[in-house]
Amino acid sequence: MQEVPSIIKAAGILLPDLLMEVSQMDQVNIEDLIEKTLHAMQSWRLGRTTLSSYKYNGFSQIRKFFEAQEQHYFNSQTVQEFIMLSKKRQERNEISARQFRKLQKAAALLEEYYDTGRLIWGHLHNRSRVRINAYFMCLLSDYLSDKETHLR
């Protein structure tokens, strides 16, 4: 295996025994990818409950979706379809927003490991989770425009 530059080593956790060449990752069994991703997550020293939550509430649902689609190999498009379906389920209150975020993060972890052979922990979104209604937005806009007028 090629030597990995130190800047890449510093950017994330590399697991040489799990690292694969991208060309070899064209046809990766979804079961194998999930197990390797979970193994990589263990190096973060996450709690057992966190790992179990990802295994049984995140990855298992992705695995079941792939089985329902009769797909045995990882496919980014199938993962995106899973996320869209999960979002619709969340909008219909079939799953909680928290469960949706767990599924979204699990899918992102699989895609990251598939694409790079390593994982870097990060947040999916940096925006507020609070939705602002139209009335409040109107008040805020009026306030800001008045404030700007008075500051001149």
Q: In 3D, which of 40, 35, 73, 72 has the Cα closest to residue 55?
A: 35
Q: In 3D, which of 114, 107, 98 has the Cα closest to residue 19?
A: 114
The burial class, CB within 10 Å (0-12 / 13-18 / 19+), for 119 is buried
Looking at residue 83, its pLDDT comes to 95
Beta strands in the chain (DSSP E): none
pLDDT digit of tens for each residue in the chain (152 aa)?
344 444 444 444 444 444 444 334 468 999 999 999 999 998 888 889 999 999 999 999 999 999 999 999 999 999 999 999 999 999 999 999 999 999 999 999 999 999 888 888 765 554 555 567 778 778 878 887 876 666 65
pTM above 0.75, yes or no: no
The pair of structure tokens assigned to 121 is 């922990």
- CA 86 – CA 82 distance, rounded (Å): 6
Looking at residue 98, its pLDDT comes to 93
CA distances from 96 to 23, 100, 103 (A): 37, 6, 11
- CA 55 – CA 120 distance, rounded (Å): 18
Q: Cα(first)–Cα(last) distance of the chain, in Å? A: 64
Q: In 3D, which of 35, 90, 84 has the Cα closest to residue 59?
A: 35
